[in-house]
Chains A and B, each alone.
Chain A
């Protein structure tokens, strides 16, 4: 029973965290707020992109530390870095964010599975 309740609560929390797009806690959002001096054409400044890539890398490392990294995160980060170099800041930002969000999801998945994964769920 307790377990069920706990799971519901967890699921609810996860809904809040992942459901509502970007309104998350990370330092990145603060960074963004401070630096969201949107340059011409509504694009983002390079410092913010660099920060977003750094955040993505940190999140990737954290996910990997619990064996929870997803397949394409590394690729997204590499592509983000390339786009940044080329000055395509919007693309770079999008990719960096995607890499961070996927890393956070992978971390959460791994932590949750550490608790719940078990042979007896599949073979009672």
Chain B
């Protein structure tokens, strides 16, 4: 085993050590990334990757299907709808910020040329609130999840299609930063995101099966039994950083927004199916 592994690893190290390695275009990355998972899980149908670990865990899936019969996130959708329809103190509505709303999930995350940054849906929501004199919502727990749940539900069936515009090199830079983040080992335990969700997707860590990275972004916010409520994608990022004993970054800070940009782009073509329910 070791003897067989070593030459391969050495070869890999040499191949990837070349400075060219990072010059792959996002389109090339996307193909490589999606093919990797299709090959790794030949029996999993394409749209199934949107179901996370339940695409590769038949036992957990039964449980999950039972849960989805009476979705635990339903009350949050209802509350979100109320929030969407309620006027701000100035008489305006979310609709004034998002004329195409509420089914706008597939528009995010997106590169905002004027701001020179990746704008995610939660960030856009708070920008809207601030522009209308309302207090911003918290980014990990709480009410923002209800609004996001309503928007996600209304957006079901749209396809992930993140764009990395060619007319602004800073967009590519943000993408590259997010990509680098995903493959960077962190924390005392020295894991990269890819260690768990690429290299070992489908494997068991203790008794948890690790989900493939492909499809990780299709279903937010997600009701987690462990949380007992719905939480945002950046809350999940925080948890995954903490468990490797790395200090997490700020929700909606640059690192996590760039990470979301990369990770969502990698799922381009998958249907949106939020809000989700997970263990």
Q: Indicate if A touches B (C-beta under 8 A).
A: yes
- Nearest A-chain residue to B187, judged by Cβ: A70
Contact call A109/B190, Cβ cutoff below 8 A: yes
Chain B nearest CB: distance from A62 CB in Å?
A: 13
Q: Which of B48-56, B132-140, B240-248 is found at the contact surface with chain A?
A: B240-248
Q: For chain B, what secondary structure do more than half of its interface residues adopt (helix, strand, loop), or is it mixed?
A: helix
Instruction: Point out the residue from A68, A70, A118 that lies within 8 Å of B21, measured CB to CB.
Output: A118
Q: Which of B9-17, B106-114, B118-126, B146-154 is found at the contact surface with chain A?
A: B9-17
The 24 listed contacts between A and B (C-beta, < 8 Å) are: A1-B14, A3-B13, A4-B10, A4-B14, A64-B247, A72-B188, A72-B245, A105-B188, A110-B186, A113-B186, A116-B17, A117-B183, A117-B184, A117-B192, A118-B183, A119-B33, A119-B179, A119-B182, A120-B16, A120-B24, A122-B194, A123-B32, A124-B12, A124-B15
Q: Give the chain B neighbours of A120 by CB distance below 8 A.
A: 15-16, 21, 24
A residues in contact (CB < 8 Å) with B: 1, 3-4, 7, 64, 67-74, 102, 105-106, 109-110, 113-114, 116-124
The verdict on A73 contacting B247 (CB below 8 Å), with A117-B180, A123-B198, A124-B16 known, is yes
Contact call A113/B33, Cβ cutoff below 8 A: no
Chain A nearest CB: distance from B260 CB in Å?
A: 16
- Nearest A-chain residue to B11, judged by Cβ: A124
Instruction: Point out the residue from B185, B198, B241, B242 that lies within 8 Å of A113, measured CB to CB.
Output: B185
Q: How large is the interface on B (under 10, 10 to 19, 20 to 34, 35 or more residues)?
A: 35 or more
- Nearest B-chain residue to A121, judged by Cβ: B16
